[in-house]
């Protein structure tokens, strides 16, 4: 015999202090939850009496509605148990909901395995982590597509912001991944388009100003005296190489092989890991000098130029290993670069990704056409590069304000 009870899930409390009320079904020690479509403060719910307290302005109406929902649920369960001797709690939930709606997490994780071979490993990991994060918030995998509402998504967005301190970009990604799963389910006719709740959701863009090193700070970093410990100098060299080599991403810098560099023409020709496109461009004197510093006469064309990847075979074994090693070294690089920034007394932290911002902003400031900067950075869309043009415009406005009377 199944048991049915109303449960206030206080671990999902929102910023106003309200928590969602669920109908809980227990059958053969297995539990399922169905949203009751109600949110209450903890002091407005009587767990023992299973009623909304009188301190709620609409307690009478809500209690009547909830009583009807419980009666309907108990009727559906009794009817199902009469018809079928052994019925699962999942089937009971489907009977109460009145239609068979797929489990969101079952579909999402299956979808992840399908796309695993079609996207980069870092994209796969980011999507998978976003789904796991939402599962942790919900506290259960017992979530169906029709459990999603604008209220639930707004509550989750608030949780990302206030509890996890996620930035706007991370919040957007976390929500967009869920929406992507929905869109795919709609394309496959698994759920109707009317079930898509994301259209009414507002996601803010991160308008945080992109930081960069100007010419003077690049010189300061280049001339900064370092202790004999070699690692700091190595990470500085790689950062500066990126600045003077079109803002190459971290993974592409550490994966630079001898075959990627034409020494006679001072040209790099390399497949960019993130975009999957072959990228070729000429480099200048500073980047050339850094390469010359690390290149060996007896090296094989398949060897890596920079001494970061110690186990070449292990690194190239599979995407998961490559992702782990890259992330580990990127973290190490950022630690050293942060220390260098502190020595320079910068008002912000240096990270390796700052090299891309530094290249783009200084290139535009030096008069390079935005189309050429976009090409060197391997941007798919010039609008991405225009963010840096805006920085230049703001710097110009500041100069006018400060120096023109």
DSSP assignment of 120-186, as one string? -HHHHHHHHHHHHHHHHHHTSS--BGGG--HHHHHHHHHHHHHTS---HHHHHHHHHHHHHHHHHHH
Q: Looking at the predicted structure, is the pLDDT value of residue 230 above 60?
A: yes
Q: How far apart are CA 241 and CA 359, in angstroms?
A: 10
| Number of CB atoms found within 10 A of residue 249's CB | 21
User: Which domains does the chain possess?
Assistant: 3-97 (no CATH), 104-200 (1.10.150), 215-403 (1.10.443.10)
What tokens were used for 35?
């949203």
Q: For 353-404, what is each residue's pLDDT tens digit?
A: 999 888 888 887 878 777 777 777 676 676 666 665 554 455 444 443 443 4
Confidence of residue 100 (pLDDT cuts 50, 70, 90): low
HSE-up of residue 51 (Cα within 13 Å, Cβ side):
10
Q: If you average pLDDT over residues 217-221, what whole number do you get?
A: 93
Confidence of residue 218 (pLDDT cuts 50, 70, 90): very high
Q: Dihedral (C-alpha) 190, 21, 12, 154: value to the nearest 10 degrees?
A: 60
Higher-confidence residue of 143 and 396: namely 143
Residue position matching structure tokens 């023109």: 404
Q: What is the pTM of this model?
A: 0.57
Expressed in angstroms, the distance from the first to the final Cα of the chain is 84
Confidence of residue 239 (pLDDT cuts 50, 70, 90): very high
Task: Supply the pLDDT for residue 141.
Answer: 85
Q: Which of 129-133, 160-164, 369-373 has the highest mean pLDDT?
A: 129-133
In this structure, are residues 62 and 56 in contact, taking their beta carbons and an 8 Å threshold? yes
Q: Looking at the predicted structure, is the pLDDT value of residue 104 above 60?
A: yes
Q: What are phi and psi of 35, to 5 degrees?
A: -65, 140
pLDDT-above-70 percentage for the chain: 86
What SS3 class is residue 236?
Answer: helix
Task: Supply the pLDDT for residue 8.
Answer: 93
């Amino acid at each position: 015999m199944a048991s049915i009870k109303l449960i206030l899930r206080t671990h999902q409390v929102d910023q106003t202090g309200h928590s969602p009320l669920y109908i809980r079904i227990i059958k053969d020690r297995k539990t399922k939850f169905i949203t009751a479509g109600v949110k209450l403060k903890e002091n407005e719910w009587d767990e023992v009496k299973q009623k909304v307290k009188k301190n709620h302005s609409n307690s009478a109406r809500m209690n009547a509605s909830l009583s009807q929902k419980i009666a309907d649920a108990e009727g559906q369960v009794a009817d199902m148990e009469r018809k079928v001797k052994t019925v699962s709690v999942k089937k009971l939930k489907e009977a109460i909901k009145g239609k068979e709606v797929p489990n969101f997490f079952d579909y999402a994780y299956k979808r992840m395995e399908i796309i695993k071979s079609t996207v980069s490993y870092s994209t796969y990991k980011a999507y998978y982590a976003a789904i796991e994060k939402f599962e942790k918030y919900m506290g259960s995998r017992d979530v169906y597509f029709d459990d999603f509402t604008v209220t639930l998504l707004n509550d989750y967005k608030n949780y990302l912001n206030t509890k996890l301190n996620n930035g706007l970009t991370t919040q957007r990604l976390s929500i967009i991944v869920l929406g992507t799963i929905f869109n795919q389910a709609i394309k496959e006719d698994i759920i109707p388009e009317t079930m898509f709740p994301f259209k009414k959701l507002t996601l803010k863009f991160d308008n945080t100003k992109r930081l960069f090193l100007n010419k003077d700070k690049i010189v300061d970093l280049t001339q900064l005296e370092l202790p004999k410990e070699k690692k700091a100098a190595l990470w500085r060299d790689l950062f500066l190489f990126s600045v003077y080599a079109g803002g190459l991403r971290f993974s592409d810098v550490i994966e630079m092989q001898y075959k990627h560099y034409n020494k006679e023409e001072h040209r790099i020709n390399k497949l960019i890991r993130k975009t999957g496109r072959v990228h070729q461009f000429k480099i200048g004197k500073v980047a050339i000098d850094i390469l010359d510093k690390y290149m060996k006469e007896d090296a094989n064309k398949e060897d890596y130029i920079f001494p970061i990847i110690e186990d070449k075979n292990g690194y190239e074994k599979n995407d998961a290993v490559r992702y782990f090693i890259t992330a580990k070294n990127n973290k190490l690089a950022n630690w050293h670069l942060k220390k260098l920034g502190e020595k320079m007394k910068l008002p912000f932290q240096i990270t390796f990704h700052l090299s891309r911002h530094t290249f783009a902003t200084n290139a535009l400031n030096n008069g390079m056409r935005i189309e050429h900067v976009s090409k060197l950075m391997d941007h798919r869309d010039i609008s991405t590069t225009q963010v840096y043009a805006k920085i230049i415009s703001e710097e110009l406005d500041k100069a006018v304000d400060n120096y023109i009377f």
